[in-house]
Structure 1
C-alpha cells in the first residue's frame, strides 16, 4: 500500500536561464545553461541539482541498508553522482553514474550494499527503466543484471 511521506514543491521561471525557488525558500537560485555550453559562471543547472539530489538520496539508502544489517557507515563514506545531458536525434536525455566509497567495508560487502541501496533509493526506483544508471565502487563499474534496471511496473 502506497503511503505518501513528503511532497516537495518548487517553481521555475525562465527555464534554463531563469530562476528556481522551493516553497520552503531553502532553494532560491539563478539557473543557467551549463558554463561549458555557453552559460554563465556561478549559476547552477538542472543536471547539478539532480546529481546532488541523487547522491544524497543514494547515501541515505546506503545508511538504511547498513542499519538493517546492524552496521553503520563510516562518516567519511561518499557517493559521487555524475549526471550527463545528451542529445539523441531531436530528443535530449540524461544518464547517471553513482560512484560509492564506503571506506570501512571490503569490496564484496560494499558491492552487496550498493546493489541493495539501488533497489530502495527513490531516485533509483524512479529512473529505473527510464534512464541509464551505472553503479561503481571506487571507480570500478559493477555489472548490472537487466532485471535490476526494470521499471517498477515491469518488475512486478
Structure 2
C-alpha cells in the first residue's frame, strides 16, 4: 500500500481503507508501544520473561480472536444462525524456532455452546475465509481451527 504526501494510505483501485491502526514502538520486545490516539499504551517484554509487559504474540492472539468473533457474527447473520451467549475464542500463538529461523503457528479454539457441530463448523469455516487476520496468515503460518 502506498501513502500520499500526508502519510495516509492511498486507496488502490476500488479498495476503501476503513481504519488505520497506528502505533509507535521503541525498544522492541523489551520496550513500549503507544497508539497515536492514546487508547493503547503498553509495556512489552519477551515471551517467557519476567518483564512487566505483554508480548507481540499475546497482542496478535487478542487481535485475531476479537476479529474472528466479528467474522463469526457476520457468518451467523449470513446463514441465519443465532449466536449463543457463550461464544468465545481462545487464541494460541506460538513463537517457534527451527534451525535458528523464527516463525509463528496458531490455534483458534472456538466455543459455540448449544450449536450443532455442523452449524459451528459452518460458522468457523466461513469466518476463517473472511476474517482479515485469517486472510493475512493463510498460507504463511500453520493454523488450526478447533471446536471446543
Q: 1:44 aligns with which of 54, 74, 87?
A: 54
Structure 2, gaps ≥5 residues long: 1-13
Q: Does 1:115 align with 2:125?
A: yes
Mapped to 2, the partners of 1:3 and 1:90 lie a distance apart of: 39
> Paired residue for 1:71?
81
Point out the structure with the larger helix share: 1
Q: Deviations over 1:57-111 (max 9, x none)?
A: 0000000100112233122210110000011122111111001111121111101
User: Which TM-score applies when normalising by structure 2?
Assistant: 0.87
> Paired residue for 1:9?
22
Which consecutive aligned stretches of 4+ in structure 1 deviate over 2 angstroms post-superposition? none
> Paired residue for 2:136?
126
Aligned residues: 135
Q: Deviations over 1:124-154 (max 9, x none)?
A: 000101111111001xxxxxxxxxxxxxxxx
Q: CA deviation at 1:3?
A: 2.1
> Paired residue for 1:62?
72
Q: Does 1:82 align with 2:81?
A: no
User: Which TM-score applies when normalising by structure 1?
Assistant: 0.82
Structure 1, gaps ≥5 residues long: 139-156
